[in-house]
């Protein structure tokens, strides 16, 4: 078995063990974050059974996709979205996790081809407030969700968040809990959501404990990334 295959088995085992230990019954899907990784690494993960891959940088993602057309990969866009990139994102991904304003949602909706299923969307929520510019504020979340629910070529699935990095498990837990509470509040208002995209290599067990249904994992699967890029 390759290293990637070993790591994949370890992560899947940790996901199951965490669910059992915390009595969580939700389905937890693994999104393999392949940014900065070579096509060969994606092939190895795919061969080991992984089929959902996440990318942050459009140009890099399109180049990788072009070399991987032989594999039925489900591609997720998880990076910041500039409005001049919306057309290519809408045409080349099944999911977008990082929608945080209506203008971007409308552009994705308008560009989504009729021949494709609706684009599956998560709203990125800002729970770390301080320095982070990405993500809709909790105050504006419901209005944005309502507006996006009315866009026919988008399917609103849930929330995504990238908490402020910290090694303090309690702080991680508090931030994930905040996202979870936003998610529960939308469910209570009648939104039909099923996706909570929280948790990365360093904190995914805590995210699962707080209700994650997608964990986005890069370095724990593929190894450390070159430090020049995130």
Ligand X SMILES: *Cc1c(COP(=O)(O)O)cnc(C)c1O
Residues contributing to the site for ligand X (CB under 6 A): 33, 35, 56, 78, 162, 200-202, 216-220, 230
> Which of residues 108 and 217 has its CB atom nearest to ligand X in the complex?
217
Nearest-CA neighbor of 123 among 131, 133, 135? Answer: 135
The residue number whose beta carbon is nearest to ligand X equals: 218
Residues 18-57 as b or e (16 or more Cβ within 10 Å = b):
bbeeeebeeebbbbbbbbbbeeebbbbbbebebebbbbbb
Q: Which two tokens stand for residue 208?
A: 């699962």
> Which of residues 60 and 202 has its CB atom nearest to ligand X in the complex?
202
Strand 195-197 and strand 154-160: pairing? parallel
Q: How far is the CB of 120 from ligand X (least distance, A)?
A: 16
Q: How far is the CB of 11 from ligand X (least distance, A)?
A: 10
> Which of residues 59 and 146 has its CB atom nearest to ligand X in the complex?
59
> Which of residues 169 and 189 has its CB atom nearest to ligand X in the complex?
169
Kindly compute the dihedral angle of the four CA atoms of residues 77, 82, 85, 91, in this order, to the nearest 10 degrees.
40
Q: How far is the CB of 89 from ligand X (least distance, A)?
A: 14
Which residues does residue 122 pair with via DSSP β-bridges, in sequence order? 158
Q: How far is the CB of 70 from ligand X (least distance, A)?
A: 25
> Which of residues 78 and 156 has its CB atom nearest to ligand X in the complex?
78
132 near 177, Cβ under 8 Å?
no
> Which of residues 35 and 153 has its CB atom nearest to ligand X in the complex?
35
Q: How far is the CB of 151 from ligand X (least distance, A)?
A: 23
Instruction: State the sign of the Cα–Cα–Cα–Cα dihedral 193, 194, 200, 205.
Output: positive
Q: Cα(180)–Cα(196) distance, rounded to whole angstroms? A: 8
Q: How far is the CB of 58 from ligand X (least distance, A)?
A: 13
């Amino acid at each position: 078995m390759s290293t990637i295959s070993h790591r994949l088995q370890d992560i899947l085992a940790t996901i199951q063990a965490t669910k059992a230990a915390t009595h969580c019954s939700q389905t937890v899907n693994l999104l393999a974050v392949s940014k900065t990784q070579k096509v060969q690494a994606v092939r190895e993960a795919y061969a080991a059974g992984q089929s959902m891959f996440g990318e942050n940088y459009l140009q890099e993602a399109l180049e990788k996709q072009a070399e991987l057309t032989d594999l039925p990969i489900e591609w997720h866009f998880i990076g910041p979205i500039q409005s001049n990139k919306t057309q290519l994102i809408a045409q080349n991904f099944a999911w977008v996790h990082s929608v945080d304003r209506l203008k971007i949602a409308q552009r994705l909706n308008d560009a989504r081809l009729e021949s494709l299923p609706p684009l599956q969307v998560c709203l990125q929520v800002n729970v770390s407030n301080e320095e982070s510019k990405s993500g809709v504020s909790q105050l504006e979340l419901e209005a944005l969700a309502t507006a996006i629910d009315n866009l026919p070529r988008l399917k609103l699935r849930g929330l995504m968040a990238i908490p402020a990095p910290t090694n303090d498990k309690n702080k991680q837990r508090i931030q994930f809990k905040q996202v979870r509470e936003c998610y529960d509040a939308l469910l209570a208002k009648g939104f039909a959501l099923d996706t909570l995209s929280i948790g990365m290599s360093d904190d995914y067990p805590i995210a699962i404990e707080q209700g994650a249904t997608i964990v986005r994992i890069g370095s724990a699967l593929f190894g450390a990334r070159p430090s020049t890029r995130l």
